[in-house]
Chains A and B, each alone.
Chain A
Amino acid sequence: NYDSQKTYIVYMGSHSKGKVSTSSHHIRLLKETIGSSFPPHSLLHSFKRSFNGFVAKLTEAEVKKVSEMEGVISVFPNGKKQLH
Chain B
Amino acid sequence: TTRSWDFMGFSEQVKRVPAVESNVIVGVLDSGIWPESPSFDHAGYGSPPAKWKGSCEVSANFSCNNKIIGARSYRSNGEYPEGDIKGPRDSDGHGTHTASIVAGGLVRRASMLGLGLGTARGGVPSARIAAYKVCWSDGCSDADILAAFDDAIADGVDIISGSLGGSGARDYFNDSIAIGSFHAMKKGILTSLAVGNNGPDFTTIVNFSPWSLSVAASTTDRKFETKVELGDGREFSGVSVNTFDIKGKQIPLVYAGDIPKAPFDSSVSRLCFENTVDLKLVKGKIVVCDSLTVPGGVVAVKGAVGIIMQDDSSHDDTNSFPIPASHLGPKAGALVLSYINSTNSIPTATIKKSTERKRKRAPSVASFSSRGPNPITPNILKPDLSGPGVEILAAWSPVSPPSGAEEDNKRVLYNIISGTSMACPHVTAAAAYVKSFHPTWSPSALKSALITTAFPMSPKHNPDKEFGYGAGHINPLGAVHPGLIYDASEIDYVQFLCGQGYTTELLQLVSEDNNTCSSNNSDTVFDLNYPSFALSTNISKPINQVYKRTVTNVGSKYATYKATVINPWKNLEIKVNPSVLSFKNLGEKQSFEVTIRGKIRKDIESASLVWDDGKHKVRSPITVFIAN
Tell me the A residues contacting B by CB distance below 8 Å. Answer: 7, 9, 11-18, 44-45, 47-51, 53, 55, 71, 73-74, 76-84
* Min CB–CB distance A73 → chain B (angstroms): 5
CA of A78 to CA of B141 in the docked complex: distance in angstroms? 6
CA of A48 to CA of B150 in the docked complex: distance in angstroms? 7
**Given A71-B509, A78-B141, A83-B164 contact (CB < 8 Å):** yes
* Option from B153, B164, B419, B506 in Cβ contact (under 8 Å) with A81: B164
Please name the residue on chain B nearest to A74 by beta carbon. Answer: B173
Are B511 and A9 touching (Cβ within 8 A)? no
Residues of B within 8 A of A11 (CB): 173, 179
Are B76 and A50 touching (Cβ within 8 A)? no
Please name the residue on chain B nearest to A9 by beta carbon. Answer: B142
* Option from B142, B163, B419, B509 in Cβ contact (under 8 Å) with A13: B509
CA of A83 to CA of B183 in the docked complex: distance in angstroms? 22
Additional pairs, 4, CB under 8 Å, beyond known A80-B141, A81-B142, A84-B420: A9-B146, A44-B77, A73-B173, A84-B421
| Interface hits, B1-57 → A, CB 8 Å | 30-31
* Option from B143, B184, B509 in Cβ contact (under 8 Å) with A78: B143
**Given A83-B164, A84-B194, A84-B197, A73-B506 contact (CB < 8 Å):** yes
| Interface hits, B160-213 → A, CB 8 Å | 163-167, 170-171, 173-177, 179, 183-184, 186-187, 194-197
* Option from B143, B196, B509 in Cβ contact (under 8 Å) with A7: B143
Stretch at the interface among B132-140, B242-250, B338-346: B132-140
Are A76 and B174 touching (Cβ within 8 A)? yes
Residues of A within 8 A of B194 (CB): 84
* Min CB–CB distance B49 → chain A (angstroms): 19
Please name the residue on chain A nearest to B170 by beta carbon. Answer: A76
Q: Can you list 26 A-B pairs with a CB-CB distance of less than 8 A?
A: A7-B77, A9-B142, A11-B173, A14-B183, A14-B509, A15-B512, A16-B512, A44-B77, A50-B150, A50-B153, A51-B149, A51-B150, A74-B173, A74-B174, A76-B175, A78-B76, A79-B166, A81-B165, A82-B135, A82-B165, A82-B167, A83-B30, A83-B92, A84-B163, A84-B164, A84-B420
| Interface hits, B115-163 → A, CB 8 Å | 135, 138-143, 145-147, 149-151, 153-154, 163
A-B contact number at CB 8 A:
122
Would you give the 0/1 interface string for B502-546, flagging 1 where the beta carbon is closer than 8 Å to chain A?
000010011110000000000000000000000000000000000
Please name the residue on chain B nearest to A50 by beta carbon. Answer: B153
CA of A72 to CA of B138 in the docked complex: distance in angstroms? 29
Please name the residue on chain B nearest to A15 by beta carbon. Answer: B512
Are B166 and A81 touching (Cβ within 8 A)? yes
CA of A51 to CA of B151 in the docked complex: distance in angstroms? 10
* Min CB–CB distance A49 → chain B (angstroms): 4
Residue in A7, A18, A44, A78 whose Cβ sees the most chain B Cβ within 10 Å? A78
Complex A-B, nearest 3 residue pairs according to Cβ-Cβ distance, in ascending order: A13-B509, A80-B139, A49-B154
Residues of A within 8 A of B302 (CB): none
Are B139 and A49 touching (Cβ within 8 A)? no
CA of A50 to CA of B146 in the docked complex: distance in angstroms? 10
B622 contacts A by Cβ under 8 Å: no
Please name the residue on chain B nearest to A49 by beta carbon. Answer: B154
Residues of B within 8 A of A7 (CB): 76-77, 143
| Interface hits, B75-105 → A, CB 8 Å | 76-77, 92, 94
CA of A48 to CA of B92 in the docked complex: distance in angstroms? 29
Residue in A13, A50, A55 whose Cβ sees the most chain B Cβ within 10 Å? A50
**Given A11-B173, A50-B150, A55-B143 contact (CB < 8 Å):** yes
* Min CB–CB distance B419 → chain A (angstroms): 5
* Min CB–CB distance A11 → chain B (angstroms): 6
Residue in A44, A45, A76, A81 whose Cβ sees the most chain B Cβ within 10 Å? A81
* Option from A14, A17, A44 in Cβ contact (under 8 Å) with B511: A14
CA of A7 to CA of B142 in the docked complex: distance in angstroms? 10
**Given A83-B31, A83-B140, A47-B76 contact (CB < 8 Å):** no
Are B167 and A78 touching (Cβ within 8 A)? no
CA of A76 to CA of B163 in the docked complex: distance in angstroms? 22
